[in-house]
Structures are given as C-alpha cells and as structure tokens.
Amino acid sequence: MAKLGFIGLGVMGGQMVSRLLDKGHVVTGYNRTRSKAQWLVDRGMKWGDTPRAVAAAADFIFVMVTNSDALKSVAEGPDGYVAGLAAGKVVIDMSTVSPTASRALAAKVREKGADMVDSPVSGSVSTLQEGKLSVMVGGRRETFDRVQPLLQDIGPKVSYVGNNGLALSIKIAINLSLAVQMLAFSEGVLLAEKSGITRETAVDVLTHSAIASPMVQYRGPFVLKLPEEAWFNVNMMQKDLMLALEMGRELNVPLPTTAVSNEFLTAARGMGLVEQDFAVMFDVLARMSGVSR
C-alpha cells in the first residue's frame, strides 16, 4: 500500500479519504479546519499540521480545495506542500481551477524533482459513495501510469486525456452542462406545474424520460427538497461557469446557455442562497414564475 497525503478534507475530499482508508492505504491528511476532519482521524487517518508536513510524509499527495486562492494558500510559502516535495513524489491535484494556473503550478512542482497531474472528478457525493465516480487525468503519460491504480481506488472510471491542464478543460466543459441542464430541467418542471400537473408528478415523469441524464436523475429531486448540506453550492458552480466563460473567450467558443445559467446563479447569490446547492436555480426561476417552493 502506498503512503498517501490528502490536503482538503471537505465533503468530497473526506469521502475520498474514507475510501482510501478502506483500501488499506496509509493516509496523512490536512484540512484548514481540523474539527471537520476529526471523523477521519478517528478512522485511522494520520494528521499533518501543515500542507508541507503532509507532502513530506507521503509519496503521493492528493489536493482538493475549492478555488485558485485556496490552492495557492496550501501550495506556496514555507508551510505549503511544494516546500515538502522531493524527487519522485507526485502531486495529484483534484481541485477545479483554470488550466493555465494548473500548468504554472505543475512547473513549480517539477522544479523540486517531483511531478504533478491535474485530476478533477465528475460526479456527486452519492456517485462517490456508490463507487461510480469518474476521474480525468492530465499530465505526463508515465506519471498517469503510476497514479492510475490509486485513482481507481476512488472511482472505477479513470481516463487519461492528455497533457497538463487538459483534464481541467474537460472538467469545466462537463460542469457548464450541469448548470445548463439544471436550468432547463427547472423550466420543464415549472411549465408542467403551472399547467396543472403536481410538481411531484412532473419530477417523477421527467426523471424517467428521455431527458433523464445521470445529473437530472440525482439532482432533479432537489426541486422538491434541497439537501441539508449542499453537494455543490452556488459559489462553487459559479466559479466553474466563470472559468468556462473565460475559456470560451480565449478559444473563441460562444457559450450562450452558460452565460444565461451564470446569470441565474448571480440572482441566487442576490437572494441570499449562495450556500445552497446550485439546484436552487429552480427557486430563482420559480420566484420569477410566481411559484413558491
């Protein structure tokens, strides 16, 4: 079993560590708020006081934080994980940030004699718990070959997509579609509801129809009841849509439905719904339609 490190023990990161512990790996973890990771310490995870300590203790260092600023805070400086790297170590960065920023960080990692892949995931907490998570990897092929067995302990579908940054490109492409699908699903539910069909019936029919993608099936029911803890909140989704819009401008790809979906997330923030799962886009459209949750 490999000596692993994991930096960022939020909802998804914590569940990943749990799976890695189940597979028998030795994991040293770090989270900005230690109390949120206590359940993993109780399960046998070792604790690192700093990201640097985690990198020093592990051969493979997973990182999963919310955005570019959070990534910079755990990577750089005297306590950052880059300072704890040495030749032969590998960073597996699962954070969703811009491909350009990720490539720049990979260059700093390689200056230490280590290597880095970007390895974002597609799926939700329930997908992860069911063992159906999809993982994308960008980086050197030989490094992918080293990390693939570890990533398969997290999710069964591990895809090599090319050089550094390209896994992030496909992840951003996936996530823009999640928001667009959620908005379109909300439109369908509300159109049916205002026609006289109960919301419950509309959700049941739509989630078993031709439009029922995996995302619609697991997130569609959120228009009936939001989860107590957001799987992926408004801020996180809007961050990814902004990354998509930035890429669209750089690559001359119009993203009209992404732009509209982004405006609904802005409206959700204005309504004080920022900490809710991004499925709360339904509530924004419902209020505009004169319908209450």
Point out the catalytic residue in the list 89, 171, 225, 239. 171
Determine the Cα–Cα distance for residues 91 and 82; give it in Å rounded to an integer.
9
Q: Residue 129: which pLDDT band, with cuts at 50, 70 and 90?
A: confident
Given a cut of 80, is residue 173 above it in pLDDT? yes
Place of tokens 């090319």: 162
3-state secondary structure of 188: helix
The C-alpha atoms of residue 177 and residue 160 are separated, in whole angstroms, by 21
pLDDT mean over 197-216: 96
Per-residue pLDDT, 188: 98
Residue 183 has which token pair? 């908005």
Q: Kindly report, residue by residue over 15-37, the tens digit of the pLDDT.
A: 999 999 999 999 999 999 999 99
List strand residue ranges (DSSP E) for 60-204, in order.
60-63, 90-93, 115-118, 121-122, 134-138, 157-162
Tens of pLDDT, residues 33-76: 999 999 999 999 999 999 999 999 999 999 999 899 999 999 99
- For 228-237, what is each residue's pLDDT tens digit? 888 899 999 9
Q: Which tokens go with 27?
A: 């994991």
What CATH number is given for 3-163 in this structure?
3.40.50.720
Q: 183 vs 16, 218, 255, 269, CA distance in Å?
A: 29, 15, 15, 15
pLDDT value at residue 113: 97
Split at pLDDT 50, 70, 90, the class of 131 is confident
Q: Which pLDDT does position 187 carry in this prediction?
A: 98
Residue 171 among the catalytic residues: yes
pLDDT for residue 1: 72
Q: What is the average pLDDT across 170-189?
A: 97
Q: Which CATH architecture has domain 169-288?
A: Orthogonal Bundle (1.10)
Of 15, 158, 108, whose CA–CA distance to 6 is shortest? 15
Locate 26 and state its tokens. 């030795």
Contact residues for 181 (Cβ-Cβ < 8 A; gap 6+)? 213, 215, 216
Q: Residue ranges per domain, the chain?
A: 3-163, 169-288
In this structure, the dihedral spanned by the alpha carbons of residues 164, 261, 236 and 274, taken in order and rounded to 10 degrees, is 170
Q: Looking at this protein, which amino acid is placed at residue 82? A: V
Q: What is the mean pLDDT of residues 169-179?
A: 96
